[in-house]
Amino acid sequence: MRGSVVHTPDAPSAADATGLGRLPSERVRAWRLQVLAALLAQGGSVLLMVGVVALGHADAMAVTVWAPLSMLFSAGVWLALARGWTAHLRDPALTAPQIVWSIGSAVVCYALAGPLRLLAVPMACLALVFSIFALPARQVQHITVATLLAFGVVMAVLAQLQPHRYPPVEELLVFGLLLFSIPPIALLAGRLSELRARLGQQRRELAEALARIQELAVRDELTGLFNRRHMHDVLKQAQARAWRGRPFAVALLDIDHFKLVNDRHGHAVGDEVLRLFANVASHSVRSEDTVGRWGGEEFVVVFDDAQADAVAALAERLRQRVAAAQLPLADGSALSFTVSIGLVMHRPGELPEATLERADQLLYQAKARGRDRLEAQATMS
């Protein structure tokens, strides 16, 4: 039974060839903006270090080596993202490695900047602040600890090797500043992670509720088949395709003596009969055909892209399968039931209501002639 429309894929584009074409364009743009932001931040750090060199507080050769290296990783990620080389990765933008690289670059900057070394601290904090919006809380906490350790080790080494340039007391004070300023970032990351998780859960619940509402709007709750309202839409769509030369047929089906089933066995058994019929009917038609509950014990089938002889054979097979089906009862016996069918081809230019009316007339004939039979228009028999 039809449940979706299959589209013919277009020829693969250049983006598809890289693998990024299979990903949402909004996500790809976000990744590229993320890498661009990292490049701009590192470019700003390079300009600051050029100023430090101009003031005579840093070795020009060391900064000349450090500057391109500090931007190398993000530039490489930009190229890899543009070429689609990282499209198969869980995070094509390599967010965590980029942040670690930026913090490492800031630590090196600290070692090079001498009296102006505090400029490196906001560089590292900027990378950490960015991480709280891009990484899970656990990763941010690990990076935070690694940042403190990296700065602590560098400060201790510099204070030991060059105490006149990096006085131990000053290094201890700077490290204390880091201890008071960086850990809160990790705590904030945890809070944001909780908020993101809660928001994600709310979005999932909302999506499930909307899907359920949509499903209830088009499905019959008892049988799971499409309801009458949706079948009207199916008929309108079939009519539109018929204008383009794609004929369709309509069958109205009615379970024979259904009132007797309810009277003798109760409405619960009657509901099981309806469910069994729906299951048999759904598995007796083609994937492009649509089965719906029209009301009570009456059902409708829209045979899409229909040829008269083939559709008549399908409808007859459905009738035979229903007659062969058996519903087990509580007393160990089995209940059989039959169906009467009226089947017509849609006529060019005919409204769906007129097609249904003709099918209903044939259904009435099937019941008048003894039930458990298919009545089709003359051109189909």
Same domain, 163 and 253: no
Same domain, 112 and 242: no
What single string gives the DSSP state of each residue in 335-352? EE--EEEEEEEPPTT--H
3-state secondary structure of 375: strand
User: Which of 206, 236, 263 delimits the end of a domain?
Assistant: 206
Residues whose CB falls within 8 Å of the CB of residue 237, separated by 6 or more in sequence, listed in order: none
Catalytic residue ranges: 297
Same domain, 233 and 136: no
Structure tokens at 358: 């003709």
Same domain, 181 and 301: no
Same domain, 180 and 289: no
- Does 1 fall in a domain? no
Judge contact between 88 and 80, C-beta under 8 A.
Answer: no
- Does 265 fall in a domain? yes
Segments in 224-351 forming alpha helices (H)? 228-243, 258-265, 267-282, 308-324
Going 38 to 43 to 44 to 45, the CA torsion angle's sign is positive
Per the prediction, the chain carries an average pLDDT of: 86
Asked whether residue 356 carries a pLDDT value surpassing 50, the answer given is yes
For residue 247, the domain's CATH number is 3.30.70.270
Same domain, 123 and 232: no
**pLDDT (mean) for 9-35:** 56
Termini Cα distance of the chain: 24
Place 317 in a pLDDT band, splitting at 50, 70 and 90: very high
The tens digit of pLDDT for each residue in 42-62 reads 888 888 888 888 998 888 998
User: Which of 206, 238, 266 delimits the end of a domain?
Assistant: 206
- Does 252 fall in a domain? yes
Place 25 in a pLDDT band, splitting at 50, 70 and 90: low
- Distance, CA of 171 to CA of 288 (rounded, Å): 75
pLDDT attached to residue 239: 93
- Does 363 fall in a domain? yes
Lowest-confidence range among 16-20, 64-68, 84-88, 182-186?
Answer: 16-20
Pairing type for strands 290-295 and 326-328 reads unpaired
Residues whose CB falls within 8 Å of the CB of residue 210, separated by 6 or more in sequence, listed in order: none
Same domain, 137 and 192: yes
pLDDT attached to residue 149: 94
Segments in 13-94 forming alpha helices (H)? 14-18, 25-54, 60-83
Asked whether residue 10 carries a pLDDT value surpassing 50, the answer given is no
**pLDDT (mean) for 131-141:** 81
pLDDT attached to residue 378: 65
- Does 4 fall in a domain? no
Provide the percentage of residues in the chain whose pLDDT is more than 70: 92
Q: How many domains does the chain have?
A: 2
pLDDT attached to residue 17: 42
Q: In what order do the strands lie in the sheet with 298-303?
A: 290-295, 298-303, 249-255, 339-345, 374-376
- Distance, CA of 98 to CA of 109 (rounded, Å): 16
**pLDDT (mean) for 268-294:** 96
Contacts 24+ apart (CB under 8 A), 227-234: 227/292, 227/293, 228/292, 228/293, 228/294, 228/295, 230/292, 231/290, 231/292, 231/294, 231/300, 231/302, 232/352, 234/290, 234/292, 234/302
Q: Which domain holds residue 310?
A: 228-380
pLDDT attached to residue 182: 85
Integer CA distances (angstroms), 339 to 264, 273, 291, 292, 363, in order: 18, 11, 15, 15, 10
Place 18 in a pLDDT band, splitting at 50, 70 and 90: very low
Angle, helices 120-134/95-112, rounded to nearest 10 degrees: 170
The tens digit of pLDDT for each residue in 62-103 reads 889 988 888 888 888 888 877 888 888 888 888 888 889 889
3-state secondary structure of 226: strand
- Distance, CA of 236 to CA of 361 (rounded, Å): 21
Same domain, 30 and 136: yes
- Distance, CA of 29 to CA of 306 (rounded, Å): 45
- Does 125 fall in a domain? yes
Between 134 and 328, the higher pLDDT residue: 328
Place 36 in a pLDDT band, splitting at 50, 70 and 90: confident
Lowest-confidence range among 93-107, 228-242, 356-370?
Answer: 93-107
**pLDDT (mean) for 7-31:** 52
3-state secondary structure of 219: strand
- Distance, CA of 311 to CA of 325 (rounded, Å): 21
- Distance, CA of 99 to CA of 134 (rounded, Å): 10
- Does 95 fall in a domain? yes
Same domain, 22 and 119: yes
Phi then psi for 349, rounded to 5 degrees? 80, -5
Place 8 in a pLDDT band, splitting at 50, 70 and 90: very low
Same domain, 290 and 340: yes
pLDDT attached to residue 380: 58
Same domain, 58 and 184: yes
- Does 38 fall in a domain? yes
Lowest-confidence range among 108-112, 190-194, 346-350?
Answer: 190-194
Same domain, 252 and 341: yes
User: Which of 171, 206, 241 delimits the end of a domain?
Assistant: 206
Asked whether residue 340 carries a pLDDT value surpassing 90, the answer given is yes
The tens digit of pLDDT for each residue in 208-238 reads 888 888 877 899 989 999 999 999 999 999 9
